[in-house]
Structure 1
Amino acid sequence: MRDVFAAMFADARDRLAGAPREALGELIRPRRVLGIARAERIVPRGTAWHLGALLLTDTAVLATGDVVRSRQEVRRGYTAAAQRRRAELAAAARRGGFAEGETVHIGWRVLDTTDASGAASAPLAIVRGVPSVRWSAQGGYMPLRSYLDERIALLRDPPAGA
């Protein structure tokens, strides 16, 4: 089945040539210096085509993690810890060198397309002999070929206002 996944993703890469990519980043937590904490930053780790639950690079398939937009750090009065953390991550991306407003993917992980039967390959799986993808944590599996067709079409020709 490995060859089936490889062939589908190779075909997807060919069809995506020239389509816009989004940045991949890695969150870096620097060591303390003389006991003083330094600010986190998100550093560039390449680019990928964002296909919903998947990120496709020139050489790998990744599971999507968190997505942030880089922005300058400003003081905000968020009451929710989750909002505060997202603002910190957006500022960390800016500190890491991403342009203002640039979309950055963090927390992604490389998928093992050679074995679609375990956690290392989730959200990819073979369902009743058909290569499939789980498009959301609570969603069911969908045939990978039709999923890629739909996502590539959306990336190439996004709906008005997107």
Structure 2
Amino acid sequence: MTTPAALPGLLADLRARLHAAGVPAEPLARLIPARRVLLIQRPETLQEIGRAWPLGLLLLPEVPDAAGPLLHAEGTLTRARPPERVGYVAESARERDALRWTASRAGFATGQSVHVDPLPLDLEALAQGAAAEAGPILLAQDGSLRIRWAPAASPQDLGAYLRERTDLLLERAGR
């Protein structure tokens, strides 16, 4: 059972394991819409706002920020790719490619995963009972933190979920 009081220690342990194994964190970015600056039209771009490890639905920031969130919920995941000539069947495919090209234009390496507009989770409000949930994280009646990883799934203990996802990430990285 993971309580709000135990969560910072758990996240510090997971962060230490990932650092020790040398698992690279992936960039988090904020989408800056197209805008006009002094009569010059600037295209939309991505601005890196940090780095984090993907742990399923959640992102664990590489460097903890005392004032910032302990976790982020996954935003839009894309991989940087330079533009190419493509015929589209669906508008959604065109939009996904536009985001990939924006990531490439913003300077992310080709093929690099970029997490765009992650949602910071306010776990403090959850712990104080001011909110019933923060993204996929719920506060159970027994005071434990749980995660609903799929709409039809029953909530699972957050600590067990994070440990399992960290083990999978370490295994995938071959460490």
* Alignment partner, residue 43 of structure 1: 47
Unaligned runs of 5+ in 1: none
Q: 1:83 aligns with which of 83, 87, 93?
A: 93
1:142-153 matches, cutoff 5 A: 142-153=156-167
* Alignment partner, residue 123 of structure 1: 136
Distance 2:119 2:92 in 1: 22
Distance 1:3 1:154 in 2: 25
TM-score by length of 1: 0.87
| Counterparts in 2 of 1:120 and 1:134: CA distance versus 1, 3 Å | closer
Distance 2:139 2:133 in 1: 13
| Counterparts in 2 of 1:39 and 1:120: CA distance versus 1, 3 Å | farther
Q: 1:64 aligns with which of 74, 89, 95?
A: 74
Per-residue CA deviation, residues 84-117 of structure 1 (Å, 9 max, x unaligned), is 0000000000111101111000121111121225
- Matching of residue 136 in structure 1 with residue 150 in structure 2: yes
| Counterparts in 2 of 1:138 and 1:82: CA distance versus 1, 3 Å | farther
Asked if the contact 1:43–1:93 (Cα under 8 Å) also holds between the matched residues in 2, the reply is no
Q: 1:73 aligns with which of 71, 74, 83?
A: 83
Q: Across the two proteins, how many residue pairs are aligned to each other?
A: 160
| Counterparts in 2 of 1:9 and 1:89: CA distance versus 1, 3 Å | same
How far did residue 139 of structure 1 move? 3.3
Question: SS state of the match for residue 15, structure 1?
Answer: helix
* Alignment partner, residue 22 of structure 1: 26
Identity of matched residues, %: 36
**Aligned alpha-carbon RMSD (Å):** 2.3
Distance 1:37 1:125 in 2: 43
Distance 1:30 1:158 in 2: 37
Question: SS state of the match for residue 5, structure 2?
Answer: helix
Runs of 4+ that moved beyond 4 A: 33-37
* Alignment partner, residue 67 of structure 2: none
Q: 1:10 aligns with which of 9, 12, 15?
A: 12
Distance 1:73 1:114 in 2: 42
Distance 1:47 1:6 in 2: 18
Asked if the contact 1:124–1:131 (Cα under 8 Å) also holds between the matched residues in 2, the reply is yes
Q: Which moved more, 1:4-13 or 1:26-35?
A: 26-35
Asked if the contact 2:23–2:170 (Cα under 8 Å) also holds between the matched residues in 1, the reply is yes
Per-residue CA deviation, residues 6-57 of structure 1 (Å, 9 max, x unaligned), is 2222222122222221111111113135877542111222210100110011
Distance 1:75 1:124 in 2: 41
Distance 1:107 1:78 in 2: 25
Question: SS state of the match for residue 6, structure 2?
Answer: helix
